[in-house]
Amino acid sequence: MNKLVEVRLHRAGIWEGREVTDQFDVAFTAVVVCDPTYPQCYLLRLSRLDEPLR
């Protein structure tokens, strides 16, 4: 079963003495296996941020 997860990266902090915030969409691929194959879930593969597997 495939599920889509939407992710938004939020950043906040001080830049050159000013408070700044930013947010943007990111993409990545996570391959996970769970029940009934395994008694608990395992992360098998995680791609780099903004480099999802094709």
**pTM of structure:** 0.58
Distance CA 41, CA 16 (A): 43
Phi and psi at residue 22, to the nearest 5° = -155, 155
- Cα separation of 12 and 43, whole Å? 29
- Structure confidence at residue 40 (pLDDT): 92
**What is the pLDDT averaged over residues 46-52?**
87
pLDDT of residue 2: 64
